[in-house]
Chain A
Amino acid sequence: MPLVNQWRSGDLRAFGELVRRHQRKVMGLLTRMLGDRDDAEDAVQETFLNLHRHGHRFRSESRFSTFVYRVAVNAALNRRRSQGRRRAHLSEYANGQAIGQALPSSPRGPEDAMGGGEVKQRVQRCLQALPEALRAPVVLYDIEGLSYGEIAAILQIAEGTVKSRIHRARHALRKELSDLARELGAAE
């Protein structure tokens, strides 16, 4: 990790290069975590500032990308808390309102289901309606493709907890997206 070492010895140009290398991954994650491009852009900047601020906490025996993910997830959670949206989403979820109700009816076939922008919006909205504790693990596993172990390290929870939260998140999403999920699952 020569770039990381250069940065940690005070070279800001090396840090700029690290930002370039990781920004796509961080932006992707934060877009899915926050569901809003403007929010995600602000959170990306916060992530890299926090990364610089807390760089001394990085232990070289772990993967740098895991550390970056951890800082990014924290930035997303802090942003949510500061905006007070979390509470709104949680109560909406707790009330059992069907998030997709106001959206257009489901597409005719699996191909439509995967391709439609409206469907993606609906999935994104359902994802946003999940409690934070469930959303982060499912995004990191099903979308980012990280392992249970990596997610446990990022969220600083036990692997068993990661599994159970992914399970609960998928069940909650399945309930909201059952019409689409059934078509897609059957087509597989």
Chain B
Amino acid sequence: MMHAWLKGRLSEYLDGALAGRSKARLERHLERCAECRLELSELRGTVLLLRSLPTESEVELDEFLATRVVARIEAGDAAPTWRDRAHDAVAGALQGAWTPAFGAVAVLFVVAAALDLRIEFTLPGAKAPASPQAAAVPLVQPQLVSLGQRIELVPPVRSRRRFDPVVLEEVSGVYRGCAASPHDAECQAFRNKLVELALANPPGFVSEIESVPLESRDRVLSAVSLEAARTGHAQRVIRGLRRVDDPRAFGIVVQFQRTIASRE
């Protein structure tokens, strides 16, 4: 039994990672165990063989790699995927560092599920999706605000930024309302408002975008970046965002660049 245990320590012994009594015991065992001596010798030989493989300095380098990688980043190939965003949102929520809206929305949905409520973020003035009850209910359903009456049931969300349901409702409106009627004056006004915010206050714009529910964020960004490109403000927005000392601004810059590239 001791033989098997000591045999299992040979690799550590070879690395010099065994010390004290264990090391002394193994060395005593090696003196009288030919099998372990042979195994140690073969392990040493195996490590030497591994080290015979081409070293770093023998690796042939691609001198244009950096240029190619940067070009691909500029083309949007390194834009965060929905999985990355979801991962970051969950990690952020767990750390309590950011994504106040994520936390608040998650709590809302949990409570809504418990109370069997249906939550919809609908822009005032936007057309609601057709449903059998369409004739019986008004088209405009600001249900998030009415749900607010029940929010006292929700434990307070600890976050750095106050959760603002009105902002969330409006921003989501760009996505929900404008997908159906992109030329709607109100949708246009929201897009303009976000572009203005991006120009005047890039950090505020980053926070605003981060407060949009994950499933809508791409569409909102796409709509805003198109608007910025259409009005000739995209480059200014990008310059402003690049100066923001916040890694989240990266993803937004990439989205803007991708939109501009797709228009060219």
Q: Interface of A with B (CB < 8 Å)?
A: 8-13, 15-17, 19-20, 23-25, 27-28, 31-32, 41, 44-45, 48-50, 52-57, 113-114, 119-120, 123-124, 127, 138-139, 141-143, 148, 163, 166-167, 170-171, 173-174, 177-178, 180-186, 188
Residue-by-residue, is B36-70 near A (CB-CB < 8 Å gives 1, otherwise 0)? Answer: 00111111111111111111110101100111111
Shortest CB-to-CB span from A71 to chain B, Å, is 12
Instruction: Give the interface of B toward A (CB within 8 A).
Output: 8, 10-12, 15, 17, 38-57, 59, 61-62, 65-70, 72-74, 77-81, 84, 88, 91, 241-245, 247-250, 253
Is the CB–CB distance between B73 and A15 below 8 Å?
yes
Complex contact B44–A184 (CB within 8 A): yes
A49 to B42, CA, bound (A): 40
Contact of A180 among B15, B49, B57, B245 (CB under 8 A): B49
Q: What are the residues of chain B within 8 A of A184 when measuring CB–CB?
A: 44-45, 48-49
A49 CA / B76 CA spacing, docked (Å) = 10
Known: A44-B65, A174-B42, A185-B44. A142 touches B247 (CB 8 A): no
Q: Which residues of B contact A44 (CB under 8 A)?
A: 62, 65
Q: Main secondary structure on chain A at its contact with chain B?
A: helix
> CA A28 – CA B62 in complex, angstroms?
12
B241 contacts across to A, CB distance below 8 A = 10
Cα of A119 to Cα of B224 in the assembled complex, Å:
59
Assuming the contacts A9-B245, A55-B247, A148-B17, asked whether A180 and B45 have C-beta atoms less than 8 A apart, the reply is: yes
Instruction: Decide: A27 and B45 in contact? CB cutoff 8 A.
Output: no
Residues of A within 8 A of B66 (CB): 16-17, 19-20, 23
A15 touching B70 by the CB < 8 A rule? yes
Partner of B41, one of A41, A114, A185: A185
Whether A45 lies near B54 (C-beta < 8 A) is no
A-B contact pairs, 24 of them (CB 8 A): A10-B242, A10-B243, A12-B73, A15-B69, A16-B70, A19-B65, A20-B65, A27-B61, A28-B54, A32-B53, A32-B54, A45-B68, A48-B69, A55-B247, A55-B250, A123-B50, A163-B17, A177-B49, A181-B45, A182-B41, A182-B45, A184-B48, A185-B45, A188-B41
In the bound complex, how far is the Cα of B54 from the Cα of A127, in angstroms? 13
Going nearest first, the 10 A-B pairs with the smallest beta carbon separation are A56-B247, A185-B45, A181-B45, A10-B242, A185-B41, A184-B45, A167-B11, A19-B66, A28-B56, A16-B66
A177 to B52, CA, bound (A): 13
Chain A neighbourhood of B79, CB < 8 A: 53
Other-chain residue from B17, B62, B248 in contact with A41 (beta carbon distance below 8 A): B62
Whole-angstrom distance between the Cβ of A171 and the nearest chain B Cβ: 8
**A9 CB contact (under 8 Å) in B53, B57, B243:** B243
Known contacts A167-B12, A185-B41; A142 and B47 CB within 8 A of each other: yes
Chain A nearest CB, measured from B15 CB (Å): 8
B56 touches A25 (CB 8 A): yes
Of B53, B65, B79, the most chain A CB neighbours within 10 A belong to B53
**Minimal Cβ-Cβ distance residue in A for B11:** A167
What CA separation (Å) do A188 and B48 show in the bound complex? Answer: 10
Given A15-B70, A52-B73, do A45 and B65 touch, yes or no (CB 8 Å)? yes
Q: How far is the CA of A113 from the CA of B78 in the complex (A)?
A: 43
Q: Are A9 and B242 in contact (CB under 8 A)?
A: yes
Contacts of A41 in B (CB 8 A): 62
CB distance from A73 to the nearest CB of B (A): 16
Which A residues lie within 8 Å of B17 (CB)? 148, 163
Shortest C-beta distance, A58 to chain B (Å), equals: 9
| Complex-state Cα separation, A9 to B42, whole angstroms | 51
With A23-B66, A24-B61 already in contact, the answer to whether A56 and B47 are too (CB < 8 A) is no
